[in-house]
Amino acid sequence: MRQHDLVVIGAGSGNSVIDDSFAGLDVAIVEEKWFGGTCLNAGCIPSKMFAYAAHVARTVGEAGTYDVDAELLGVRWRAMRDRVFARLDDEREEGRRGRRESDFVTVYEGTARFTGPRTLRVDLADGAVDIGARQIVIAAGGRPLVPPAVLHSSLPYETSDTVMRIEAPPRRLAVIGGGYIAAELAEVFAAAGSSVVIVEKEDRLLGPQDETVAERFTELMRSRYDLRLGREVTAVGGHPGALRLTLDDASVIEAEMLLVAAGRVPNSDRLNLDAAGVATHDDGRIVVDAYQRTAAEGVFALGDICTPAPLKHVANREAQVVSHNLRHPDALSTADHELVPAAVFTSPQIASIGATEQDCRDRGIDPLVGEARYADIAYGWAMEDTTGFCKVLAERGTGRLLGAHLMGPQAATLIQPLVLAMTLGIDAPTLAKSPYWIHPAPTELVEKALLDLDQGQEASRRSARPRT
């Protein structure tokens, strides 16, 4: 059995754990599929490259709104796909070559599973090898969740791992799921000319979002897609290219292609973690402490396999923490997951941080709520936006920001002042009134929502004053 100082399972965010400070150690990386992980190969990056093209197509199609005569002739799917993946596949191979050529990193291209404390068997293309290490980092990610009705049908389906590489968009696409992956990919295929039907078991799309966002987004999407909300697929029949999905209300959907975007699950069940003494939560996530340490001595975990916030920027932060803690056991750092921003790259964009209004109710909190519409600001007039808004929640009395939620153009960028304020402890009145806000710029949307919040605070103070 070959012994290493450090083994990292997974070459997505796990790959970034290793920097030049590890050069004096014997390091190994085990990767079964993709250098660069899901983000580079089938997730964040390609989906946003496709989503941006979809945004351009929608902008051309709606150019008449701005008295611009333009005609959308179509989306060249294969050319777009090849442009996206030619670049990303090169990035993946460059990362792979760089690690293979390293003088202190050994690359095992295969599937790892634990055989005991800090020992692994790696199944390679030409056999298996047993390895051990003084320290191990588990960064094996996750995979799409596929409902039993789809699996049992033995009929073809796509997931986010595969659908962006298909040869041509279908005439009719059925999507199972109503979360951010489903919403973004539905946008892409609608722009490419597909007729889209979405089956979602909840009554709204993007259910975890603030209720105002989820409600308004769902209503907007009713005009674009065939929505089957509050429904589940009970059976999949037909044949490839002519699928028939039966729902729990006995209705039937016909589609050329099925995209399963019903969530993701951690890959922990594939690692034989019991042999290593690594504990998991009920949902399969590996249990880690504030320092990303597992229950097993010398074993760390990061990213989608353990995190409560399965987002790439979170995995990157956790990788930084693990990298530091491996090298500095007497000065450990932590990853804070209390305030994690997120965005959905649809049209309109959506961005959020902190508590939703329903979270506040569940906690018995009666927050101040401030809201501003794009239609309330001059740049919103320029964009002719009538549906977008910014909503902020704050604690009564202190003005401490509790949450922020945006829906509209550039939402993923506009939320950043609120992210900074919440992270640094800047209260809403200070953020609204201390800095200059450029006029006329989209950021005035945030300013107006904060001022609306402040007006609610003043009204609350007036109502609390004793009458004379």
**Selection from 47, 340, 346 nearest residue 216 by Cα:** 346
Give the position of tokens 């009204």.
459
Would you mind telling me the total number of residues written for the chain in this entry? 468
Element (H, E) at 301: strand 299-301
Question: What is residue 450's three-state secondary structure?
Answer: helix
DSSP character string of 239-300: ETTEEEEEETTS-EEEESEEEE-S-EEEGGGGTTGGGGT--B-TTSPBP--TTSB-SSTTEE
**Selection from 281, 278, 253 nearest residue 266 by Cα:** 281
The one-letter code for the residue type at 185 is: L
Instruction: For residues 24 and 5, give the distance between their C-alpha atoms in angstroms, rounded to a whole number.
Output: 10
Number of alpha helices (DSSP H) and beta strands (DSSP E) in the chain: 13, 20
Instruction: For residues 41 and 420, give the distance between their C-alpha atoms in angstroms, rounded to a whole number.
Output: 30
Distances (CA, A) of 40 to 80, 91, 95: 16, 8, 11
Region of 37 (left: φ > 0; alpha: ψ -120 to 50; beta: rest) is: left
Would you say 370 and 223 are in contact if contact means Cβ atoms under 8 Å apart?
Answer: no
- Identify any residues that bridge with 15 across adjacent strands, giving them in sequence order: none
Instruction: For residues 23 and 131, give the distance between their C-alpha atoms in angstroms, rounded to a whole number.
Output: 19
Task: For 122-141, give one letter per residue: b (16+ CB within 10 A) or e.
Answer: beeeeeebebbbebbbbbbb
439 is catalytic: yes
To the nearest 10°, the Cα dihedral for 449, 216, 339, 283? 170
Would you say 303 and 13 are in contact if contact means Cβ atoms under 8 Å apart?
Answer: yes
Name the active-site residue from 152, 281, 328, 439: 439
- Identify any residues that bridge with 236 across adjacent strands, giving them in sequence order: 245
Q: Tokens at residue 156, please?
A: 């073809």
C-alpha 445, offset from chain centre: 24
Instruction: For residues 362 and 68, give the distance between their C-alpha atoms in angstroms, rounded to a whole number.
Output: 48
Beta-strand runs (E) in 68-176: 105-116, 119-124, 127-138, 142-144, 172-176
Enzyme catalytic residues? 439
